[in-house]
Amino acid sequence: MTSSTMIYPDATTVAETTAARLLVSIADALSARGEAHIVLTGGTIGVATLARMAASPLSDVIDWRGVHIWWGDERFLPPGDHDRNEVQAQRSLLKRVRLPEENIHRMASSEGATSPEKVAQAYAAELARFGDPAPAFDVLLLGLGPDGHVASLFPGRPEMKVVATSVVAVKDSPKPPPTRLSMTLPTINGAKEVWILTAGAEKARAVADALAHKSGIPGGMVHGTDRTLWLIDKAAAASI
């Protein structure tokens, strides 16, 4: 497993280069196996990356019929709520590419759901349709919070220690909205490649702590089976 950190001048360049990298990675997976499983993230850079993918001519040469889209976490909100990661992904990229609807694996909304726990169980079952316990994701994207959280796994929270299930409900999240769903660390770390995307001076401490594998920092506990890639800007790299 290799790990590398790429430092770019600013957030726009992080999103632009991540978009190009991801499109090439999708094309490579499709040519090797005819399918690609990609896990998206919420957050500023994660969503900006999707918009740059939609704007890239490279997206026009991808046969999206073989691409499966998943989410590492989701906000437990009504359908169509702009704060839902899948809604932002739909508006930024998914409505602009010819992805079969059955290949877009959304975490359920709060509408009609009996509980976030039931939604977590349902998503775990969906993941298990494609692997045990999940498909070997080709690329799994993560943002990084100022406290070092990734997906909806926050420092010191019990969800950090969950290993028996692939998806967990998160309540009283330190980052609003309070109720969320998140892939667990073992599921994240089952991905072939884990890419952590972040930018801005407010993330510099978290980046430095994660890269130093400071105890209890979720960003320092994620890695791909083949590759871990940090894609950050100069401001976020200031404390490395």
Cβ closest to ligand 6PG, residue 44 vs residue 239 = 44
DSSP annotation of 84 reads: S
Question: Is 85 one of the binding residues for ligand 6PG (CB under 6 A)?
Answer: yes
To the nearest whole angstrom, how small is the minimum distance from the Cβ of residue 144 to ligand 6PG?
Answer: 6
**Which has the closest alpha carbon to 5: 238, 162, 191?**
238
Cβ closest to ligand 6PG, residue 140 vs residue 150 = 150
Cβ closest to ligand 6PG, residue 27 vs residue 238 = 238
Question: Is 205 one of the binding residues for ligand 6PG (CB under 6 A)?
Answer: no
The separation between CA 174 and the C-alpha centre of its own chain, rounded to angstroms, equals: 18
Among 26, 45, 53, 107, binds ligand 6PG (CB under 6 A): 45
To the nearest whole angstrom, how small is the minimum distance from the Cβ of residue 130 to ligand 6PG?
Answer: 21
∠ CA 237-239-240 to the nearest 5 degrees? 70
The CA–CA distances, whole Å, from 39 to 8, 50, 157 equal 23, 12, 23
**Which region, judged by CB under 6 A, interacts with ligand 6PG, from 53-61, 105-113, 137-145, 211-219?**
137-145
Question: Is 135 one of the binding residues for ligand 6PG (CB under 6 A)?
Answer: no
Length of the chain counted residue by residue: 240
The C-alpha atoms of residue 43 and residue 228 are separated, in whole angstroms, by 19
Among 21, 96, 175, 192, binds ligand 6PG (CB under 6 A): 175
**Which region, judged by CB under 6 A, interacts with ligand 6PG, from 40-48, 89-97, 106-114, 118-126?**
40-48
Question: Is 66 one of the binding residues for ligand 6PG (CB under 6 A)?
Answer: no
| Identity at 78, one-letter amino acid code | P
| Identity at 159, one-letter amino acid code | E
Question: Is 46 one of the binding residues for ligand 6PG (CB under 6 A)?
Answer: yes
Q: Which residues, 6 or more positions from 93, have their beta carbon under 8 angstroms from its beta carbon?
A: 50, 51, 53, 54, 59
Q: Which residue in this structure is represented by tokens 């997906």? A: 151
Question: Is 44 one of the binding residues for ligand 6PG (CB under 6 A)?
Answer: yes
**Which has the closest alpha carbon to 179: 86, 110, 123, 127?**
110
Question: Is 12 one of the binding residues for ligand 6PG (CB under 6 A)?
Answer: no
Q: Which residues bind ligand 6PG (CB under 6 A)?
A: 41-46, 73, 85, 143-145, 149-151, 175
